[in-house]
Amino acid sequence: TPKGIITRLHLLRPIYSQTSAYGHFGRNEKDFSWEHLDLVSLFKKYA
């Protein structure tokens, strides 16, 4: 659900200013929840 996506990715946290400064590529920030790969196997199962 959309609410589930928002909750799982912590999209309501004010962290987007980090991505708007100095570009996104080449950075290894741990706070970017959408970069985590912990759900890959789950999605592959249903793809």
pTM for the full model? 0.39
The contacts of residue 46 (CB under 8 Å, 6+ apart) are none
Q: Which pLDDT band, with edges at 50, 70 and 90, does 11 fall under?
A: confident
Residue 42 region by backbone torsions, left for phi larger than 0, else alpha for psi between -120 and 50, else beta = alpha
Furthest C-alpha separation in the chain: 36
Q: What is the pLDDT of residues 19-45, one digit of tens each?
A: 777 666 666 666 777 778 898 999 999
Task: Look at residue 25 in the predicted model and tell me its pLDDT.
Answer: 66
Instruction: Give the integer Cα–Cα distance in Å for 19 and 29.
Output: 9
pLDDT score, position 8:
86
> Stretch 13-22: mean pLDDT, rounded?
71
Note whether 35 and 15 are within 8 A (CB): no
